[in-house]
Amino acid sequence: MASTLSEAYRDHPQYLHHIIPIDFSSVRSLPDSHAWPQTMDGAGRCSADDDDEEGSGLSIPVIDLMDPNAVEQIGFACEEWGVFQLKNHGVGLSLLEEVEAEAKRLFALPANQKLKALRSPDGATGYGRARISPFFPKYMWHEGFTIMGSPFHDANEIWPDHCAPFCELMENYQKQLKVLAEKLTRMMLGFVGISEEEAKWVGSSGSTGAVQLNYYPQCPEPNRAMGLAPHTDTSVLTILHQSQTKGLQIFKDRVGWVPVHPDPRALVVNVGDLLHIISNARFPCVLHRVTVDRVQHRYSVAYFYGPPLDYVLLSPLAEQARFRGRHSERVYRD
């Protein structure tokens, strides 16, 4: 069994013809490879959704991290939605703007320059298609660049001799986002009754973070294309900075697709598969997707946070916490 992410990718390589994004800047009409039948995403996307976007009138919770009741608010938002917008998160607006500007600079490069950092079939980092691509029969209107630890190797392929500003910025961003992710993870685990003792990996040097730069170019036929098909994130939690172009939507039971409105000062936080399991499904891992726009490019920066790569989760931690709760209640009543 693969014990690290790199080994997992090595054991399940993606071959080159699957991962080279098309040169979107040279495409004038939607190729068949990228045209999604309206029922294909499994969650009923149709053009009517766009008109109806504000239809439900619902929006995801907005939480102020400085609020004295932030833990409860975050806990309730995770239970009800699995996602929320976070304000006063401590990450400077200028840092967010600089990271977005670097993403724009990278994706604006000519295709052949970006391809110098093409993710290898058995690699985890660099430039390429969405990782979820092989699970879908059509291609997405998307390019990505993945960073784990130092981006030097890949960035140096693209900008030989002058990749230092990009690398320093991305390393700084990872450091700051790790601190925020640890804080949020502790709050969420605390809310479901999991002690720090049981989740010692949070804040340890082994915990893992990855930055994913996403680019969704303008698209000639946005209603037939898909930026990122519906998926959940495998992380514990994801913290996303999105540019001003709308596109991100989350799926809410009995409601349907709900847009996540861009807010330059807020970060979008969502529960990943691992936290869903750890919390014994008290927190849903929210299904989300990205639509594309006819005239505007969209950029986003996702930070995925998770335990060390060799972490083994034997059973949901929250179930154990609840069991202890019931047990002590019984003892108390007896």
Asked if 249 is part of the footprint of ligand OGA (rule: CB under 6 A), the reply reads no
Rounded to whole angstroms, how far apart are CA atoms 14 and 12? 7
Site size toward ligand OGA (CB under 6 A) is 11
Place of tokens 């479901």: 192
* Secondary structure letter of residue 118 according to DSSP: B
Element (H, E) at 258: strand 256-259
Q: Work out the angle between the directed axes of helices 164-191 and 70-80 (0-180°, nearest 10).
A: 90
Among the listed residues 186, 298, 324, 330, the single catalytic one is: 298
Letter for the amino acid at 25? Answer: S
Nearest to 50, CA basis, from 251, 268, 293, 241: 293
Task: Rule CB under 6 A: choose which of 228, 275, 287, 318 binds ligand OGA.
Answer: 228
Candidate ranges 101-109, 154-162, 190-198, 240-248; the one touching ligand OGA (CB under 6 A): 240-248
CB-facing half-sphere around the CA of 146: CA atoms within 13 A? 16
Q: Which residue's CB atom is positioned nearest to ligand OGA?
A: 300
Min dist CB 74 to ligand OGA, Å, is 20
Give me the 68-107 binding string for Ni ion, x by CB under 5 A, dash otherwise: ----------------------------------------
Q: Report 284-303 residues binding ligand OGA (CB under 6 A).
A: 288, 290, 300, 302
Nearest to 256, CA basis, from 18, 85, 50: 50
**Cβ nearer to ligand OGA, comparing 228 with 271:** 228
Min dist CB 277 to Ni ion, Å, is 17
Q: Report 232-271 residues binding Ni ion (CB under 5 A).
A: 233
Q: Residue 242 touches which of ligand OGA, Ni ion, none (CB < 5 to 8 A by kind)?
A: ligand OGA
Question: Does the annotation count 333 as an active-site position?
Answer: no
Q: What order do you get walking across the sheet with 62-64 strand by strand?
A: 62-64, 83-87, 267-271, 237-242, 298-306, 208-216, 143-147, 126-128
Q: Report 200-239 residues binding Ni ion (CB under 5 A).
A: 233
At residue 41, φ and ψ (nearest 5 deg) are: -80, 0
Footprint of Ni ion (CB under 5 A): 233
Footprint of ligand OGA (CB under 6 A): 212, 214, 228, 233, 240, 242, 248, 288, 290, 300, 302
Enumerate the active-site residues.
298
